[in-house]
Amino acid sequence: MSGLLSALLLRRSGWRVDVYERASAALIGRGAGIMTHPELRSALSDLGLDTTRDFGVPIEGRLALDAAGRIVGRKPMPQIATSWNHLFAMLMGALGHAHYHLGKDLLRVSQGEDGVTAHFADGTSHTADLLIGADGFRSAVRAQYLPEAQPRYAGYVAWRGLADERVVKPVLTQEVFERLSFSLPPGEQFLGYPVAGPGNDLRIGHRSWNVVWYRPAEAAHEVQRLLTDDTGRVHEVSIPPPLVAKSVVEEMRSAAARLLPPQFRAALHLIVEPFLQPIYDLESPRMAFGRVALAGDAAFVVRPHVAAGVIKGVQDAATLVAALDEHCTIDTGLRTYEARRLAMGRRYVAQARRLGSYLKYSFESEEERAKAAFHARPEQVLTETAVLDFLQTP
């Protein structure tokens, strides 16, 4: 997302841009849902993208269910749930394929007075005036310039998955399906909401139900166990969705039987391939290195509770291009970009860390636990995760 957004904005500002993607086949987001803020839609509209039609599923508000499945909290809060696939298709449609190169795994960057060169694993390289490392939370660009800046495990994992509307409808009421519906087992958080079905299908009956279940997991052994596939191979940092071990999925389903309201428990059983992601925080102390900039998750990884990953990428791209337009050298433009975005990145990380503070596996003190418990109350969860008072796009 951040790479495509940066490319589109730079191109609009007169740059010739090429995007290099490591994956050798077209990317797909496994239908993952992306909750949006109005600021994201207006930023995409500024780019000339149409967000008025087929952008996503409108959600009127939020619900909290207790363990018995009774609705114990309601909050009107309109939001649109779009999907990773839809956003990606919109951005790719605008960029076109001529300057998008698959199968280009960046190994390292070298730079001098006249330019910056990207060196790829296939032995090729490309030299340009400017390089943007928008290569996600395990960024090779960041690893080269800031080897000490590492993602920090937050103390919990997110189980995710999708079920077809027709399949889950018999076990969920219309109201629960169509809202952002939460359940809050002690120290955990489950949420479900409707998203477009395959092929961005927004018709009633053809949508999907998107689930995220945050569960504490001890760092040293438990996470390693969760990331071990059926062949015994331990995956570092994250595991590809199809490889999550069957026994780990079964365990999750039996925890659901103990902890979740009957509707969610039944719906979770209908999700064919649930997958899990450990949750991390990452803060980079710098974002500009001569002719090289970091953007998006390569620079700051924000826990999902504020649903801000994509808007943060948009803001990074917009700020970067504005700073380059204002300055006559790339170096000063990038330093201005860094000065404007570092503090913002820290604010996002801090806010999301606060909201997720009660989900972690262990606490330093009873005081810390009590402070975190404030954010576990249904009335907090129903409002806090949608409110970012610092979201205005630059």
Ligand X SMILES: Cc1cc2nc3c(=O)[nH]c(=O)nc-3n(C[C@H](O)[C@H](O)[C@H](O)COP(=O)(O)OP(=O)(O)OC[C@H]3O[C@@H](n4cnc5c(N)ncnc54)[C@H](O)[C@@H]3O)c2cc1C
Residue 126 CA to residue 119 CA, distance in Å, equals 7
Return the number of the residue (159 or 177) whose C-beta is nearest ligand X: 159
**Which residues are at the interface with ligand X (CB under 6 A)?**
1-3, 20-23, 27, 34-35, 104-106, 134-137, 140, 158, 160, 212, 277, 296-297, 304, 307-311, 313
Return the number of the residue (3 or 197) whose C-beta is nearest ligand X: 3
The residue type at 328: C
Determine which helix (DSSP H) or strand (DSSP E) holds 354, and give its type and residue range: helix 330-355
- Exposure pattern of 48-78 as b/e (b: 16+ CB <10 Å)? ebebeeebbbebebbbbbebebeeebebebe
Determine which helix (DSSP H) or strand (DSSP E) holds 120, and give its type and residue range: strand 116-120
Specify which residues 158 forms β-bridges with: 214, 277
Return the number of the residue (120 or 327) whose C-beta is nearest ligand X: 120
To ligand X, the closest distance from the beta carbon of 262 in angstroms equals 24
Question: Nearest CA to 265 among 196, 187, 172?
Answer: 172
To ligand X, the closest distance from the beta carbon of 296 in angstroms equals 2
To ligand X, the closest distance from the beta carbon of 123 in angstroms equals 14
To ligand X, the closest distance from the beta carbon of 110 in angstroms equals 15
Return the number of the residue (278 or 368) whose C-beta is nearest ligand X: 278
The residue type at 290: G
To ligand X, the closest distance from the beta carbon of 124 in angstroms equals 12
Nearest residue to the partner ligand X, using Cβ? 309
Residue 193 CA to residue 33 CA, distance in Å, equals 8
Contact 117, 127 (CB under 8 A): yes
To ligand X, the closest distance from the beta carbon of 113 in angstroms equals 25
To ligand X, the closest distance from the beta carbon of 136 in angstroms equals 2
Return the number of the residue (2 or 336) whose C-beta is nearest ligand X: 2
Return the structure tokens found at 172.
């969920």
Residue 325 CA to residue 130 CA, distance in Å, equals 13
DSSP annotation string for 196-217: -BTTTB-STTS-EEEEEEEEE-
Return the structure tokens found at 257.
């039987």
Return the number of the residue (140 or 184) whose C-beta is nearest ligand X: 140
Return the number of the residue (69 or 136) whose C-beta is nearest ligand X: 136
DSSP H stretches of helix in 36-184: 38-46, 84-95, 140-145, 165-168, 174-178
